[in-house]
Structure 1
């Protein structure tokens, strides 16, 4: 059953209205659903609903609530991925897979070794990346749609570290402290975690020093050096394994 997302204002009494034109088209043209068919809906905040279609046309679909539950698949842990912007095409994979793994939000970061040709024109990229997040969520039936936030410079990203309970910095030059040792040494379960991943070529020495000075924990993900599109996925999977099942 496909999942669709609505705003809380679209939920009134025992009826939920679907007004998004892409969702309506998908229900009508792709899924070919009609009155009496069931639809899975999230309010994007706290609850998920099993509903039955009662009225349907090209501009509005109304559904009757059959069951209401708190999110069953949404992680309690809120992980923000600060992703060094990679070369063209890789960000789509990074977003899709990390959304499936449970990331809460993703922030593209311009670093010293970022290699892109259009640094001044990112609005359309963010819009496209957000759509990728939207589609990934519908597939894996999470409760919320992770936000792909506006791109920022590395120095501005470092300034945001104070709002997180734990900041992890997977670093290819770290040889003595594994992410496993770090996570298992925690005395309390963090609620908000940030993970910093560099672009191709990693972070510069100055950037690594700046992260550590600001409180980020330098950790190793293993003996091999991972690609930028793999490192975030590996780190998030490890954090989810250790902390989400705490």
Structure 2
């Protein structure tokens, strides 16, 4: 019988395994304390010799080995994905570089990774800034996303959309006509608009990629008080 997430996270003992899922569960207490960041890097040159990339990032070590392995597998894939995102479509006529950093962020029950990078060449509208995130429950190693974080995904995305419309104009300079912020599809309550986020002590920190709201990366924080009622019971601990 497969245990629901809420039950799986309360299994007693040093390590338990969710039947049918093969996911190890850490001993209750301070789940993330045993994990620590460890540096890693990858470098390379494109087949046509025009591009050079460097991805410096952090994995986790220590803690429950099975959980660390599950988390690192996703982090390593994301590091490789940074190159895979840019290299195929990179310039075939001019030299280019890709420089990416990935950092681990720990909270009581979560380990998150935030990748930020810069693709650059001598072409117009450069550089281009990239961002990517992953959030893990360090009690189990599973990825946390909108599908399992919210009791109702659509309601959660709608709340994020509403809060983005309120918060963004207070963080970034308004247009020349004060009070006239014209939002369109870029804040619609769909996955594509809210792909990148990490939990912080203040709330859900949303990261918006280059061009979603003009040039550069935009970052806002939706306070826990504005979203807590929509978070699933088994993940309430994420709010701190």
- TM-score between both structures, scaled by the size of structure 2: 0.24
Greater relative contact order (Cα 8 A, min sep 6): structure 1 or 2? Answer: 1
The answer to which structure has the higher strand fraction is 2
- TM-score between both structures, scaled by the size of structure 1: 0.23
